[in-house]
């Protein structure tokens, strides 16, 4: 997927692509109070991101909105003290593209 064209706002030259996975997991080296990013490629409802602390306690879920393909880019931001991990839950092993992650301490 070429993420520098066809998206608004434009994705960078490098992005994270989850493809054909039912669960994508990102574990951070530090804990954060806010994690945000842009994403694209969501074709079906029911996809969401879960956030956890360093002990594995669930902090909350945020649904991913349908963005279409090629497409529209959506923004997700989650705030809660102690974010150490996020899990992306995919329906039918759908793939997504993520970019422009920002972290707040």
Q: What is the pLDDT of residues 73-102, one digit of tens each?
A: 999 999 999 999 999 988 876 778 888 899
Please spell the DSSP secondary structure of 12-64, one letter per residue.
Answer: -S--EEE-S-SEEEEEEEEEEEEEEEEEE---STT-EEEEE-TT--EEEEEEP
Identify the CATH number of the domain defined by range 18-104.
Answer: 2.60.120.260
Provide the whole-model pTM: 0.82
CA dist., res. 29 & res. 105, Å (int): 12
Is the pLDDT reported for residue 21 higher than 70?
Answer: no
User: N- to C-terminal Cα distance for the chain?
Assistant: 32
Query: What's residue 3's pLDDT?
Result: 44
Query: What's residue 68's pLDDT?
Result: 82
Query: What's residue 18's pLDDT?
Result: 66
Alpha-carbon dihedral sign for residues 4, 90, 66, 35: negative
């Amino acid at each position: 997927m070429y993420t520098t064209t066809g998206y608004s706002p434009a994705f960078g030259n490098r992005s994270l692509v989850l493809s054909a996975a039912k669960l994508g997991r990102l574990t951070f080296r530090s804990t954060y109070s806010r994690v945000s990013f842009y994403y694209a490629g969501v074709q079906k409802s029911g996809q969401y991101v879960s956030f956890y602390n360093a002990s594995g306690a669930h902090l909350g879920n945020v649904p991913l909105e349908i963005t279409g393909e090629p497409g529209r880019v959506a923004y997700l931001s989650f705030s809660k003290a102690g974010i150490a991990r996020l899990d992306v839950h995919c329906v039918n092993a759908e793939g997504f593209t993520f970019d422009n992650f920002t972290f707040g301490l």
